[in-house]
Amino acid sequence: MHNDLSIVEGEYLQDILSQPQALDDTVQALALTKPLQNLAEKLNQGKFHRVVLTGMGSSFHALHPLNLELISCSFTAIMVETSELVHYKNRFFDPKTLIVAVSQSGRSAEMLRLIEVNHGHSPVIAVTNTANSPLAKSAEVTILTRAGKEFSVSCKTYVTALMALKWLGDALCQRASQRTRSTLERAAPAVAEYLADWKQHVEHLACQLKDMQHLFLVGRGASLAAVGTGALIVKESDHFHAEGMSSAAFRHGPLEMLNEDTFVLVFSGDKKTRELNRRLLDDVQENGGRGELLGEDTPFVAFRIPRDGISVRPVLEILPVQMITLAVAAQTGREPGRFELASKVTTTE
C-alpha cells in the first residue's frame, strides 16, 4: 500500500482540475442556431418518428439524461451504441429518424462508419469537441464542446458533453434557452467547490477503499450516466476492474458477491427512486459488503456533491468517481490515466 499522492499529480489530474473552466467555456459558447431550431420544429410537428441517440464509451453513457428528457417530452428516444447501430440496426437510417451522435474526436472508427452507412438518409446532430472532424463536417447541426486538449481518460470532454446534451434536450423540447443557460452556469462553480478539496477526498478514499478487490457502481435513471462512465474510467485509469449497472440489476446476481472485499457505491439519484437506492445500501451493509451513498446528503464527504448543483447532478456525480481513480492510483503507485494498450481515439472497429 503506497498512498503516494505525488504519483497522481500529472496530466490526468490537471485535466480533472480544468473541468470548471471547460464547463464555463462550453456553456458560454452554446447558441440556439436556426438549423437546430428547424430540426426541433420538425420533431415537435411529428415529422420524425424517433430520435436515435448514439455514441461509444463515455459518449454513449452521457446520453442517459437526454434519453429520459426526450421521453418525458413524449418523444420516442432510443439509445444505441454506434457499433450496433451501423451493423445491426441500420434500418433506423431513414428520413423519419433524427440522430444525435456524440464523439469527442468526431473521427472514431464507429463514427466514420456511421457517416458512410447513413449517407445522408437521416439528419444528424453532432456533439463533439473537434470542430473540423468528419462528424462535425457531415452533420446538419454541430454542437461544439470547449474542453480543449485532453491527456487520455475522458473527464473534461465527458462533463462538457453532458452540458451540451442538456442544452440540446431543452432545445428539442422547445424550452426557453435563457433559462437553460442559467441552469447550466451553475455547473462550473459547483464543480470547482468540490474539486477545491481534491487532496482530502483522495486521502480519505485511499483509506476507505483499502483492500478493496471488487468495485460496483450502481444507480438509476440519469445516474446511469455516471455509473457507466465511472466503471469505464476506473478500468482505463487504474487497470482495476469495476462494474457499473442499475441498482435493480445488482440484486439480480451480483448481490451474491458481497463480502468485505467488495465495495458498492450507490448513487442516491432522483427522489423518485432514492428510497430504493438507500434500501439497497442497507442490504449491502447488512450482508457483509462495504458501501457508501453518493449524493447531496451522504455523511462521507468525498461522496457528497454540492447541493447548489442539483439541477446539473449528472455532471457532479462523476467527480467522486474521478477521485476514486486517483485514490486507487495512490494505493498502487501507478500513474493514473496513462494508456499502455488503448489510445485516446479508437480507430479500429
Q: Please tell me the predicted confidence (pLDDT) of residue 178.
A: 84
Average pLDDT of the chain is: 95
Range of the domain at 78: 31-185
Phi-psi region at 22: left, alpha or beta (left = phi > 0; alpha = psi -120 to 50): alpha
Q: Please tell me the predicted confidence (pLDDT) of residue 340.
A: 76
Grid cell at residue 303: 461522496
Same domain, 84 and 99: yes
77, 65 contact by CB (below 8 A): no
Grid cell at residue 164: 451540451
Same domain, 69 and 165: yes
The residue-averaged pLDDT of 190-205 equals 97
Same domain, 107 and 135: yes
DSSP 49-78: SEEEEEESTHHHHTTHHHHHHHHHTT--EE
298, 306 contact by CB (below 8 A): no
- For 69-124, the pLDDT digits (tens) are 999 999 999 999 999 999 999 999 999 999 999 999 999 999 999 999 999 999 99
User: Which CATH number goes with the domain that contains 227?
Assistant: 3.40.50.10490
Residue 261: CB partners within 8 Å, gap ≥ 6? 211, 212, 213, 214
With a cut of 70, say whether residue 222 has pLDDT above it.
Answer: yes
With a cut of 90, say whether residue 310 has pLDDT above it.
Answer: no
Cα–Cα dist 240/168, whole Å: 34
Q: Please tell me the predicted confidence (pLDDT) of residue 4.
A: 75
Weakest-pLDDT range from 20-24, 100-104, 345-349:
345-349
Asked if residue 17 is part of any domain, the answer here is no
Same domain, 242 and 137: no
Asked if residue 339 is part of any domain, the answer here is no
Weakest-pLDDT range from 218-227, 241-250, 257-266, 340-349:
340-349
Asked if residue 18 is part of any domain, the answer here is no
pLDDT grade for 167, boundaries at 50, 70 and 90 = very high
Q: Please tell me the predicted confidence (pLDDT) of residue 338.
A: 86
227, 244 contact by CB (below 8 A): yes
- For 34-73, the pLDDT digits (tens) are 999 999 999 999 999 999 999 999 999 999 999 999 999 9
pTM across the whole model: 0.96
Same domain, 299 and 168: no
User: Considering 156, 185, 214, which residue would you say is the last residue of a domain?
Assistant: 185
Same domain, 207 and 174: no
Q: Give the distance from CA 5 to its chain's centroid.
A: 25
Same domain, 169 and 287: no
Grid cell at residue 212: 478493496
Same domain, 150 and 196: no
Q: What does each C-alpha distance from 346 to 17, 102, 173, 265, 290 come to in angstroms?
A: 25, 14, 33, 29, 35
Top-confidence residue, 332 or 303: 303
Q: Please tell me the predicted confidence (pLDDT) of residue 341.
A: 73
Asked if residue 9 is part of any domain, the answer here is no
Same domain, 49 and 88: yes
Q: Please tell me the predicted confidence (pLDDT) of residue 29.
A: 96
Same domain, 211 and 164: no
With a cut of 60, say whether residue 281 has pLDDT above it.
Answer: yes
The residue-averaged pLDDT of 140-149 equals 98
With a cut of 90, say whether residue 344 has pLDDT above it.
Answer: no
With a cut of 90, say whether residue 162 has pLDDT above it.
Answer: yes
Q: Please tell me the predicted confidence (pLDDT) of residue 2.
A: 58
Q: Please tell me the predicted confidence (pLDDT) of residue 1.
A: 46
Element (H, E) at 181: helix 177-184
Asked if residue 327 is part of any domain, the answer here is yes
User: Considering 185, 209, 241, which residue would you say is the last residue of a domain?
Assistant: 185
Asked if residue 241 is part of any domain, the answer here is yes
Q: Please tell me the predicted confidence (pLDDT) of residue 67.
A: 98
Cα–Cα dist 186/184, whole Å: 5
Same domain, 42 and 181: yes
Q: What is the DSSP letter of 119?
A: T
The residue-averaged pLDDT of 154-170 equals 97
Q: Give the distance from CA 322 to its chain's centroid.
A: 12
- Which residue is listed with cell 485516446? 344
pLDDT grade for 309, boundaries at 50, 70 and 90 = confident
Same domain, 197 and 312: yes
- What is the domain count for the chain? 2
